[in-house]
Amino acid sequence: MSDNLRDLRRVVNASLGPGQVIAIANGGDSEIVGRNLERLAAEIFRADNAVELMVHEERTRRGQLLGLLDAVRQWRREGRTFDSEGVALGIMLPGKGTRFSPITQRLHGIKPLMPMLVRQGRGRRWLNAAAASLYAWTLLAHHLQRIGFRGIAWKWGDEPQIAAHRLAEMNLDLSRADAVRFGAEVEVTEDLAVNKEWLLRHPTSGELIVQVQRRSRAELLQRFDIVDSGQPVKALVHIGSPAFSYPFLEEAEALFADLDGWIDVDGYLFEALTHDADAWQAELNCDTGLQQLVTERPDFWQRVQQLKRRVGERRGHPLVIKVVDFGEHLYWGDIGQLAKARRALWAVVAPTVEGDFSAASRPSITWLRIPTETASSTTPPEGWIALYHAVGPMRQYSIWTVLLDIDDPSKIIGRLPEPILTPDEHERDGYVPNVVYSCGSMIHKDELIIPYAIADQRCSVASVSVPELLSRLKASS
C-alpha cells in the first residue's frame, strides 16, 4: 500500500491525473461541494490544476444508476465532451451534514467534508473525506487509462480506498472492457457471506463470470461451484464503485435515463448483466429485494439484456466486464464505520441474551411503560411498548412496534406483522426518499403521539389509540 501512496503522489505532482471530474451532490450542496473541490484540485488530481470540474445537483435522489446517467447527460447538455482517450472521475456525495436525525446520519453517511488522516504529503493540509476519496481514485483512474480503459471511474460516497496490490504492476488488458468491478480476495466467513456481494472472475482472463447478492456461506460456495472441505476458502468480495466505458454509458443513457424513480447500480445491474434467464428466475424465486425491484420495474432484466446487445453490437464483441483485485489488506477509510461503532454493533448481534433480544426487536428507539386501558396510575402496567425502525426492500424505512414483558423486557409479548407508520405517496420524495423515522414519542390520555420526520426534509405528527394498539399487539402474540 505504501508503494501505491508514493505512486499516487507522483501521479498528482506530474499532472498525470484525470482532467475531467463529475461530482454528484444532493440538493443545496452543489456550491459548497464545487468550491471545495476547486480549491483542492491541484492537490488531489493534477498539480497543473488543468481539471474540468462539473457538479451535478440531485434535487431528488435517483439511485446510483439513474443519478450518474443524469450527470452524464448534464455534462453533454452544457456543451462538454469527454476525452475519448482518457479516464474521467465521477463521485456521488451524500451531503454535508444537515439532516435531522443522527441515526439517519450514521446510516447514510453524512460526512464528506469531515477531515481525514489523509494528505498529499508532509506539510500539506489534511483532506476531507470527499477529497480523500477522489484522491485515492486518481491513482486508479491513471492506471486504468494506462492499461487501455476508456470511460469514467465512479466512486460511491466518501470512503478512500487504496489497493494493497501495486496498481503500477497491474497488467490486465482493459482495451476491450465495457465495465470494471473492484473486489478484494478474502476468506469467506458466514458474517461476510450474508452481508456482502461477491464476484466470481475467470482465473486467466480476469473477466467477471457472475456477481451475486448476499447469502449464506454454504449457498455462496455452492453458487460458485466451490467444494466446502472444511478448510478456509477465499473469494472476491465486492468493495463497491464501478467503472463504465463511454459506449456503455451512452447506451445506458438511451435505455434508462428517461425512467422515473430510483435504480441502483449495486441494486442488481451487474446481476442482470451476468445472469441468463434461468439463473435470473432462480434468484427471483428467493430474493425479496429482487422481487420488489421487479414489481416496480417488470422489464428491468429485459432492458439490461438490450443494453448488453447494443453495447456488444457497437463494440464488435460480447460485453466484457473485468475485475480488479485490490487485495485483502487494502486501506478502506470510512468515518461512518468507526471501530467503537463496529464493536457496539457486534455486541447487539452476539450470541448472548442481549444479542438475541436485539436480533428479535431490532434497534429500539422509543420505550414507553404502558398502564392498563384505564390509564390509572394505581393499576399494574401491561408492559413496555418499543418503537423501532426497520429498512425493507427498496430502502423503505418505516416505524414498527413490539410489546415487551414488564419484568423481563427481553421477552416479546406481541409484535405487529406490519409497520405502524410507512411513507405514503406524498412522503416518498425528498432529501432521503422513502424514509419516515421518529426519535421519540409520548402518551397523552389514551393516545400514543409520534412526532416523525419525512425524507430528512420535513416533520409531521401521527397518533394511535393506545387501547387499540395494545389489543392488536396482544392478539399478535
Q: How far apart are CA 248 and CA 237, in angstroms?
A: 24
3-class secondary-structure state, position 365: strand
How large is the average pLDDT for residues 363-372?
39
Residue linked to cell 393506545: 466
Task: Report the candidate in 271, 276, 284 with the shortest Cα–Cα distance to residue 321.
Answer: 271
Task: Write out pLDDT tens, residues 199-214.
Answer: 999 999 999 999 999 8
Q: How far apart are CA 121 and CA 117, in angstroms?
A: 11
How large is the average pLDDT for residues 273-288?
93
Over the range 380-402, which residues count as b (16 or more CB within 10 Å of their CB) and which as e? eebbbbbbbbeeeebbbbbbbbb
Residue 411 has a pLDDT of 82
Q: Is 446 left (phi over 0), alpha (psi -120 to 50) or beta?
A: alpha
Query: Does 344 have pLDDT greater than 80?
Result: no
The mean predicted confidence, pLDDT, of the chain is 83
Residue 320 has a pLDDT of 97
Q: How far is CA 206 from CA 56, 210, 275, 321, in A?
A: 33, 12, 18, 9
String of DSSP letters for 179-212 = EEEEEEEEE--HHHHHHS-EEEE-TTT-BEEEEE
Q: How far apart are CA 153 and CA 165, in angstroms?
A: 18
Question: Could you tell me how far CA 431 lies from the centroid of its own chain?
Answer: 16
- Give residue 336's pLDDT band: very low, low, confident or very high (50, 70, 90): low
- Give residue 246's pLDDT band: very low, low, confident or very high (50, 70, 90): very high
Location of each CATH 2.115.10.20 domain in the chain: 339-475
Residue 70 has a pLDDT of 96
More confident residue, 277 or 121: 277
Q: pTM to 2 decimals?
A: 0.70
Residue linked to cell 458466514: 190
Query: Does 7 have pLDDT greater than 90?
Result: yes
Residue 271 has a pLDDT of 95
Highest-confidence segment of 49-58, 115-124, 411-420:
49-58
Query: Does 78 have pLDDT greater than 50?
Result: yes
Residue 338 has a pLDDT of 45
Task: Write out pLDDT tens, residues 118-176.
Answer: 888 777 888 888 899 999 999 999 999 999 999 999 998 778 888 988 898 888 899 99
Residue 394 per-residue DSSP state? G
Q: Which three cell numbers stand for residue 449?
A: 403521539
- Give residue 339's pLDDT band: very low, low, confident or very high (50, 70, 90): very low
Q: Is 346 left (phi over 0), alpha (psi -120 to 50) or beta?
A: alpha
Report CA dihedral (312, 316, 317, 323) to the nearest 10 degrees. -70
- Within 10 Å of residue 447's Cβ, how many Cβ atoms? 14
- Give residue 53's pLDDT band: very low, low, confident or very high (50, 70, 90): very high
Residue length of the chain: 477
Residue 439 has a pLDDT of 73
CATH of 339-475, one of 3.30.420.40, 2.40.50.140, 3.20.20.70, 2.115.10.20: 2.115.10.20
Residue 67 has a pLDDT of 93
